[in-house]
């Protein structure tokens, strides 16, 4: 049997059985290499050779984590949250329920988007922000499944579409892995290629608003809230905003998220917004927060390297072409579904790309897809399953906040809704973009 299929199946099964994803990737790679007839030393060597391809992304994640913690230490996020909560609490029990609901929805969506592109703190804002407003959501009888959909949209769609923060890292991984798989692409084409799949995500959010518009009653249970009252010097807030602007500008100029994040951190220390003596602890805490994702991406690159070394990618491409019998639309649909399954198992769209790119790029070239279509194919296949995966930060994050009082089920209230409203339109719009637009 094809070694690539064996490797992917082993990795997926182990991941679904809740074996650590890094271990699943390593074992899948080893078994795939041995199945292809490679010796164990050769398999390990191939795995080692691929690890370096993920080092840049892992370091980017680490520095972004450090930057996120540094920003939080200035108190800017707590002040922002405190102001909005005071406004909500002043009006939350009045007749202006529609206005307050819209304000909360907009604020949560904005924070989720910012957490990916502008203030790259990922899901760290959710445990701080959501539990304190659960009482208000209960008064307004807001269906928490809608909140889960809003947060997940903001955590996924921005990195798919916008070239900043985690979005920059995502397209950098895409460009690198597509290039390693045999096709050099222009990183500036990614926004155009992913625009239609992102539109599918937006449609899913709109449908979720319509589906969960009816009131839902929850018990009011007291939960432990984070303290939001903070006293921060105005100058530190100004310098924090300056660090965010500089980080984005430097990233754009240099094309490096590493340099951008490092620049933002240095601004905080040079201006005195943070003390130099705190640097080691803050960076260590931030890197620890992002370490797991970094290790998964590094291991996924080793996995991809072994898959390429087996030589079975070519035979898999040939066999797949025989199965679809030249039916390009069917082949594209199958590849998108495979991407969905892989990401659902791993829980990380960033780590999925090296796995699917090694298989899909040669196949897509044989099928005659355009460069933009191939970018959309790999980008969409990677993003599929990030929403709707039980192991994804994009569902675990919302659940961590919404279930603070024990009334929000992870599977049925976060995973299932986001799977339905995002993965289905993402498959449809991704397929339409690849087949008829790009």
3-state secondary structure 227-289: CCCCCCCHHHHHHHHHHHHHHHHHHHHHCCHHHHHHHHHHHHHHCCCCCHHHHHHHHHHHHHH
Taking the C-alpha atoms of residue 322 and residue 87, their distance in angstroms, rounded to an integer, is: 62
DSSP string, 303-325: HHHHHHHHSHHHHHHHHHHHHHT
Instruction: Give 338-407 as a 3 state SS string.
Output: HHHHHHHHHCCHHHHHHHHHHHHHHHHHHHCCCHHHHHHHHHHHHHCCCCCCCCCHHHHHHHHHHCCCCC
- The pLDDT tens digits for 239-251 are 888 887 888 788 7
Confidence of residue 80 (pLDDT cuts 50, 70, 90): low
Kindly state the tokens that stand for 207: 């449908």
- The pLDDT tens digits for 278-308 are 767 777 776 776 666 677 778 877 887 887 7
Taking the C-alpha atoms of residue 386 and residue 198, their distance in angstroms, rounded to an integer, is: 13
Taking the C-alpha atoms of residue 286 and residue 64, their distance in angstroms, rounded to an integer, is: 7
pLDDT, mean of residues 355-363: 84
Taking the C-alpha atoms of residue 164 and residue 257, their distance in angstroms, rounded to an integer, is: 8
- pTM of the entire structure? 0.74
Per-residue model confidence (pLDDT) at position 228? 43
pLDDT, mean of residues 52-78: 71
Please answer whether residues 67 and 265 qualify as being in contact, where contact means their C-beta atoms are separated by less than 8 angstroms. yes
pLDDT, mean of residues 266-276: 80
Burial class (CB in 10 A: 0-12, 13-18, 19+), 301: buried
CA Rg value for the chain: 22
Whether the pLDDT of residue 19 is over 90: the answer is no
Per-residue model confidence (pLDDT) at position 317? 67
Taking the C-alpha atoms of residue 353 and residue 188, their distance in angstroms, rounded to an integer, is: 18
Three-state secondary-structure class, residue 56? helix
Per-residue model confidence (pLDDT) at position 169? 82
Of 124, 209, 222, 81, residue with least CA distance to 89: 81
pLDDT, mean of residues 404-432: 91
Q: At what angle do helices 312-324 and 349-367 cross, to 10 degrees?
A: 60
Please answer whether residues 158 and 113 qualify as being in contact, where contact means their C-beta atoms are separated by less than 8 angstroms. yes
- The pLDDT tens digits for 153-208 are 999 999 999 888 788 888 888 998 899 888 888 888 899 999 999 999 999 999 99
Taking CA 9 as the corner, what is the angle to CA 330 and CA 386, rounded to the nearest 5 degrees? 70
Confidence of residue 238 (pLDDT cuts 50, 70, 90): confident
More confident residue, 407 or 295: 407
| Phi and psi, residue 354, nearest 5° | -60, -30
Kindly state the tokens that stand for 2: 């094809």
More confident residue, 166 or 120: 166
Helix (H) and strand (E) counts for the chain? 20, 0
DSSP string, 155-223: HHHHHHH--STHHHHHHHHHHHHHHHTT----GGGHHHHHHHHHHHHHHHHHHHHHHT-S---------
Per-residue model confidence (pLDDT) at position 326? 76
- Residue 283: CB atoms within 10 A of its CB come to 18
More confident residue, 373 or 75: 373
- The pLDDT tens digits for 298-337 are 887 788 788 778 877 667 767 777 777 878 899 899 889 8
Across 24-28, 109-113, 288-292, 411-415, least confident range: 288-292
Taking the C-alpha atoms of residue 430 and residue 433, their distance in angstroms, rounded to an integer, is: 5
Residues 6+ apart with CB under 8 A from 175: 185, 187, 190
Three-state secondary-structure class, residue 224? coil
Residue reference for tokens 């909360």: 104
pLDDT, mean of residues 229-242: 72
Per-residue model confidence (pLDDT) at position 268? 83
Of 298, 47, 354, residue with least CA distance to 175: 354
Mean pLDDT of all residues belonging to the chain: 81
Per-residue model confidence (pLDDT) at position 271? 84
Kindly state the tokens that stand for 412: 């049925």
Of 110, 115, 202, 201, residue with least CA distance to 165: 115
Residue reference for tokens 């996995």: 303
């Amino acid at each position: 049997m094809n070694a690539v299929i064996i490797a992917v199946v082993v990795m997926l099964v182990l991941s679904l059985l809740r074996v650590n994803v890094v271990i699943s990737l390593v074992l899948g790679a080893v078994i795939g290499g041995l199945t292809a007839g490679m010796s164990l030393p050769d398999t390990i060597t191939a795995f080692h050779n691929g690890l370096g391809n993920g080092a840049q992304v892992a370091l980017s994640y680490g520095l972004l984590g450090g930057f996120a913690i540094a920003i939080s230490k200035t108190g800017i996020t707590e002040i922002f949250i405190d102001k909005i909560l005071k406004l909500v609490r002043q009006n939350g029990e009045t007749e202006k329920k529609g206005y307050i609901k819209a304000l909360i929805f907009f604020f949560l969506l904005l924070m989720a988007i910012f957490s990916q592109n502008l203030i790259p703190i990922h899901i760290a804002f959710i445990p701080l922000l959501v539990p304190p407003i659960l009482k208000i959501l209960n008064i307004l009888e807001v269906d928490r499944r809608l909140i889960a959909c809003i947060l997940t949209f903001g955590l996924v769609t921005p990195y798919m579409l916008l070239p900043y923060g985690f979005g920059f890292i995502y397209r950098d991984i895409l460009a690198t892995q597509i290039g390693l798989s045999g096709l050099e692409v222009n990183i500036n084409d990614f926004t155009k290629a992913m625009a239609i799949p992102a539109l599918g995500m937006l449609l899913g959010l709109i449908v979720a608003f319509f589906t969960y518009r009816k009131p839902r009653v929850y018990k009011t249970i007291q939960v432990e809230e984070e303290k939001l009252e903070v006293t921060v010097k105005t100058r530190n807030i100004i310098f924090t905003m300056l660090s965010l602007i500089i980080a984005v500008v430097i990233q754009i100029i240099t094309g490096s998220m590493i340099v951008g994040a490092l620049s933002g951190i240095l601004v905080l220390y040079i201006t005195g917004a943070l003390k130099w003596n705190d640097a080691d602890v803050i960076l260590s805490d931030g890197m620890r927060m992002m370490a797991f994702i970094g290790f998964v991406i590094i291991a996924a690159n080793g996995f991809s390297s072994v898959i390429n070394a087996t030589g079975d990618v070519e035979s898999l491409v040939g066999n797949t072409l025989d199965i679809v019998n030249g039916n390009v639309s069917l082949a594209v649909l199958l590849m998108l579904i495979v991407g969905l399954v892989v990401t659902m198992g791993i829980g990380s769209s960033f780590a999925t790309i090296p796995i699917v790119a090694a298989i899909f790029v040669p196949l897509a070239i044989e099928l005659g897809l355009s460069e933009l279509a191939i970018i959309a194919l790999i980008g969409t296949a990677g993003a599929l399953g990030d929403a709707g995966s039980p192991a994804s930060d994009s569902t675990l994050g919302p659940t961590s906040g919404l279930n603070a009082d024990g009334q929000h089920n992870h599977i049925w209230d976060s995973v299932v809704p986001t799977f339905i409203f995002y993965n289905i339109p993402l498959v449809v719009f991704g397929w339409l973009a690849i087949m008829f637009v790009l």
